[in-house]
Chains A and B, each alone.
Chain A
Amino acid sequence: MEVSNPYLGYKILFEAMVKFSAGISAVKNIQELPFEINRHLKYLINFQEFQYFFVEDEDVDCLQVDQLGNARYSTCQLPQLEPIARQVLETGLPLSHYCEKSRVSTYCWKFESENNHFSLLCVSSHADSPFGDKSIPLVKVLNKLLSTRIENLKMVKLIHAQNRELAKLTGILQKKNAEIQALNNQQEAIIIEKTTRLRDSNSKLKTLIQFNSHQLREPLTRVISMVAIKDDLPVEEYVSDILPLLSASVVDLDHAILEVVKRSELFENEDN
């Protein structure tokens, strides 16, 4: 990118940098990042191919764009990187390489982040439109913007994953709580039912006892009275007035006993 007026040149560069920065800030996930780089990079540096590798442990995120407008995001493992990139990663020293045949120069830099990861930035350019030395300070700025954004996107992704996990756990917890609640309710219902049955049974038993006591005693007291009155009455009167009543009362007593037995059996059956 050559502009004759230096002021105009800086102005264009500044605006392009602002757009680049705003563009990548708006990107929602790492896969879209190469497309955003592709939109703005041509206003910042001369390149035939631009590669950015974000290295975290053994995992590498690869962002690639080329002059023809192709943009690509991929992931790979450290050993799969090109030899020149691996060499720069190992030594930490920038490298440049010129191919006579294709007239293509390749430059590669390694940057170290405070957060325990590295990045590699590789630019190749054709001799007809070379990557200028003046662009080198821009490489640092580009790296800073990209690595911060990638780190940020990864963090957001991690938070989302954790949130999902948390939501899942909350769901499980709620389900378990509901199960416990259901068990509690079931237990409570059983207890209430048992208590009600017991109360009902007690009340029936009380009624039965009262019934038995009265039903049996009433005809019995009549019989006792009639036996007791014998000595106080003339025999004729006793035979004519009382004796017929005595047999009726004895029959009543028998009925009462049968009724008491029937009710007791009924109660026993109901209670079981």
Chain B
Amino acid sequence: MWQLKDNYKHMKVFLIDDQKITNVLNRKYLSMIREDLEIFDFDDPELAMAALETERPELIFLDLNMPIVSGWDILTFMRKRKIEIPVIILTSSNSLQDREKANLFHNVFSFQLKPLTKNGFNDLLQGYYLLDDSSTARKKTG
């Protein structure tokens, strides 16, 4: 566990996964690591897309394989709207094609295979804090 930085207090985090259960579990893990996170979870990606511009979260955990609107659709939407928020992809499919495709989105700083446990979330948040503020998602981990 690391020392909290003042400027990251009350950090807004989006969890986007069509599986409600996954969102519940991820929320629990994140809350265990940090109590001050403001977590929004969406099992409807369309609602998440709408909230992106109004809520402006600082970090997004994104599932790829979702019906109707996929994780790729959300990434494309963000690129079009120039919404530069760091994204961690959380997927259950270990496809090389998906990894290569994810590299094309420069705000994706990590590609993670489910399931992610407490240690995994801890490492990811640490990695997030190491990101340089000026070039938000250029430096990638994971």
Which A residues have a C-beta under 8 Å from some C-beta of B?
Answer: 210, 213-214, 217-218, 220-222, 224-226, 228-229, 232-233, 241-242, 245, 248-249
Given contacts A224-B115, A229-B117, 14 further A-B contacts (CB under 8 A): A217-B93, A218-B65, A218-B92, A218-B114, A221-B114, A221-B115, A222-B21, A222-B115, A225-B117, A226-B21, A228-B118, A232-B29, A232-B32, A233-B28
> What's the nearest-Cβ distance from chain B to residue A135, in Å?
109
Residues B25 and A214 in contact, CB atoms below 8 Å apart? no
Q: Does any Cβ of A come within 8 Å of B116's Cβ?
A: yes
Residues B115 and A225 in contact, CB atoms below 8 Å apart? yes
Top 4 nearest A-B pairs (CB, nearest first) are A221-B114, A225-B115, A221-B115, A217-B92
> What's the nearest-Cβ distance from chain A to residue B77, in Å?
22
Residues of A within 8 A of B95 (CB): 210, 213
> What's the nearest-Cβ distance from chain A to residue B15, in Å?
13
Interface string of B41-77 (1 = CB under 8 A from A): 0000000000000000000000001000000000000
Residue of A with least CB distance to B116? A225
- Rounded to whole angstroms, the CA-CA distance of A211 and B93 in the bound complex is 9
Interface of A, helix, strand, loop or mixed by DSSP: helix
Residue of A with least CB distance to B65? A214
Beyond A214-B65, A218-B65, whether A229 also contacts B92 by CB under 8 A is: no
A-B contact pairs, 10 of them (CB 8 A): A210-B95, A213-B93, A218-B92, A222-B25, A225-B25, A225-B116, A225-B117, A226-B21, A226-B25, A248-B21
Interface centre among B19, B25, B117 (most CB of A within 10 A): B25
- Rounded to whole angstroms, the CA-CA distance of A228 and B29 in the bound complex is 11
Interface string of B104-115 (1 = CB under 8 A from A): 000000000011
Residues of A within 8 A of B28 (CB): 229, 232-233, 241
Residues B21 and A249 in contact, CB atoms below 8 Å apart? yes
Residues A218 and B117 in contact, CB atoms below 8 Å apart? no
Q: Does any Cβ of A come within 8 Å of B141's Cβ?
A: no
Residues A229 and B21 in contact, CB atoms below 8 Å apart? no
Residues A228 and B117 in contact, CB atoms below 8 Å apart? yes
Residues of A within 8 A of B24 (CB): 241, 245
Residues B65 and A229 in contact, CB atoms below 8 Å apart? no
- Rounded to whole angstroms, the CA-CA distance of A221 and B93 in the bound complex is 10
Residues B19 and A222 in contact, CB atoms below 8 Å apart? yes
* Segment 100-140 of B: residues with Cβ below 8 Å from A: 114-118
Interface centre among A218, A220, A226, A232 (most CB of B within 10 A): A218
- Rounded to whole angstroms, the CA-CA distance of A218 and B25 in the bound complex is 14
Residue of A with least CB distance to B64? A214
> What's the nearest-Cβ distance from chain B to residue A238, in Å?
10
- Rounded to whole angstroms, the CA-CA distance of A63 and B4 in the bound complex is 132
Interface string of B22-46 (1 = CB under 8 A from A): 1011001100100000000000000
- Rounded to whole angstroms, the CA-CA distance of A218 and B94 in the bound complex is 11
Residues of B within 8 A of A248 (CB): 21
Residues of B within 8 A of A245 (CB): 21, 24-25
